[in-house]
């Protein structure tokens, strides 16, 4: 079979088209900034960006003019304040208007649970007494055929492209994740195309020594990209810590569009790839964030 291994530049240009609905996943963990930066560099436009937490990654893409719509459930800078890029787009239409489709965390997660299970809808025990259904016509209800009670529903979400960062995969795309796994598995099974980005490419024997650790099987993966430190300033359990200094600094960087533009020029347009970004970051930051070694107790798969 044709190899799935490729570069980030090739994967983004092949799979992400203007107007695509994309989901770069990772719930506060494994957030693939390397993919977002390449999308910004390739000046993709009119994207619908889906994520439970837009985080800095979508704040940057929105400020860079890549997005016409965002589907989300919590739009803050985790632990550190506001997403000014996203707010400027919604409050002041800068750099352009941004359509908003909003859920609670469980509501948006349920859209992906349904998408992965090939269900047209998912029932969610939520939204009673809240104003959210009044501003989102996609939140509807069904009557339970057993209790006769009404229960809220959300429709399936099937993104055109899912980009999932992980600790390791083999060249077939069998992908293993540990630490916080978020909604990555459902996202991969819900999406029409899947790009996996990893810190380490490993021999299939390593993956197959622990099959329960595999979150995403190669059969649903279209491309595999090796991109060490691909999540900075986010983190990868067992590899490097979250750059909290940067998350806090983002408040000042993003508070006005001009300083945010300067960041885009210097750190995204100003570098050609993630490896150049890492070089620019410098060895001090890289070693400051490097993870200590805390290994698991092995288990036996013999019979």
Angle at 240 between CA 234 and CA 241, to 5 degrees: 60
3-class state of residue 154 by DSSP: strand
Q: Which residues contact 209 (CB under 8 A, 6 or more apart)?
A: 301
Q: Residue 217 to residues 107, 213, 288: CA-CA distances in angstroms?
A: 26, 11, 33
Choose the binding region for other proteins from 3-11, 193-201, 210-218, 264-272 (rule: CB under 8 A).
210-218
Q: How many residues bind a second copy (CB under 8 A)?
A: 47
Annotate each residue in 211-240 with x if it binds a second copy (CB under 8 A) or - if it does not, as one string: -xx---------------------x-xxxx
- Measured in Å, how far apart are the chain's first and last C-alpha atoms? 32
Cα 154 to Cα 69, 76, 147: the distances in Å are 18, 23, 19
Candidate residues 113, 161, 223, 229; the one interacting with other proteins per rule CB under 8 A: 113
Nearest to 200 by CA among 216, 181, 177: 177
Q: How far is the CB of 278 from other proteins (least distance, A)?
A: 19
296 is a site residue for a second copy (CB under 8 A): yes
Region from 9-17, 37-45, 121-129, 269-277 binding other proteins, contact rule CB under 8 A: 121-129
Residue 60, helix vs strand vs coil: helix
297 scored as a contact of a second copy (CB under 8 A): yes
Placement of tokens 């055929």 in the chain:
145
Q: 212-241: which residues touch other proteins (CB under 8 A)? A: 212, 214, 217-220, 235, 237, 241
Subset of residues 13 to 52 that bind other proteins, contact rule: CB under 8 A: 27-29, 52
Residues 146-165 that bind a second copy (CB under 8 A): 146-147, 149, 151, 153, 155
> Which stretch in 20-28, 67-75, 126-134, 292-300 sits in contact with a second copy by CB under 8 A?
292-300
Q: Which of residues 54-93 bind other proteins (CB under 8 A)?
A: 72-76, 78-80, 82-83, 86-87, 90-91
Strands (E), 25-169: 47-50, 67-72, 99-102, 121-124, 140-143, 150-155, 161-169
Q: Which does 247 bind (CB under 5 to 8 A by kind): other proteins, a second copy, none?
A: other proteins
C-beta of 105: minimal distance to other proteins in Å? 4
Evaluate whether 161 touches 197 at the Cβ level (below 8 Å): no
Closest CA to 73 of 110, 104, 98: 104
State the angle between helix axes of 33-41 and 55-63 in degrees (0 to 180), rounded to the nearest 10.
0
User: Judged by CB under 8 A, does residue 171 bind other proteins?
Assistant: no
Could you say whether residue 249 binds other proteins (CB under 8 A)?
no
Residues engaged in binding a second copy (CB under 8 A)? 118-121, 123, 125, 140-147, 149, 151, 153, 155, 167, 176, 178-179, 181, 206, 209-210, 212-213, 235, 237-241, 291-303
């Amino acid at each position: 079979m044709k190899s799935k291994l490729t570069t980030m530049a090739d994967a983004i240009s092949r799979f992400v088209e203007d107007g695509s609905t994309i989901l770069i996943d990772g719930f506060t963990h494994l957030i693939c900034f390397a993919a977002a930066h390449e999308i910004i560099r390739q000046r993709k436009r009119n994207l619908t960006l889906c994520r439970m937490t837009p985080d800095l990654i979508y704040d940057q893409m929105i400020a860079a003019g890549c997005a016409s719509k965002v589907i989300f459930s919590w739009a803050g800078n985790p632990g550190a304040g506001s997403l000014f890029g996203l707010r400027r787009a919604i409050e002041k239409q800068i750099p352009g208007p941004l359509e908003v489709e909003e859920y609670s965390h469980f509501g948006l997660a349920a859209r992906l649970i349904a998408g992965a299970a090939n269900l047209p809808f998912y029932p969610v025990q939520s939204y009673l007494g809240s104003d959210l259904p009044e501003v989102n016509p996609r939140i509807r209800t069904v009557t339970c055929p057993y209790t006769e009670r009404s229960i809220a529903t959300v429709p399936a979400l099937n993104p055109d492209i899912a980009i999932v960062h992980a600790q390791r995969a083999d060249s077939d795309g069998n992908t293993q994740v540990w630490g916080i796994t978020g909604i990555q598995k459902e996202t991969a099974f819900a999406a029409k195309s899947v790009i996996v980005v990893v810190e380490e490419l490993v021999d299939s024997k390593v993956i197959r020594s622990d099959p329960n650790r595999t979150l995403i099987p190669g059969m649903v993966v279209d491309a595999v990209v090796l991109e060490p430190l691909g999540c900075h300033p986010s983190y990868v359990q067992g590899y490097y810590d979250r750059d909290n200094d940067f998350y806090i600094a983002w408040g000042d960087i993003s508070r006005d569009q001009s300083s945010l533009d300067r960041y885009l020029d210097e750190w995204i347009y100003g570098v050609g790839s993630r490896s150049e970004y890492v070089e620019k970051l410098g060895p001090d930051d890289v070693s400051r964030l490097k993870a200590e070694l805390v290994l698991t107790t092995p288990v036996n798969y013999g019979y």
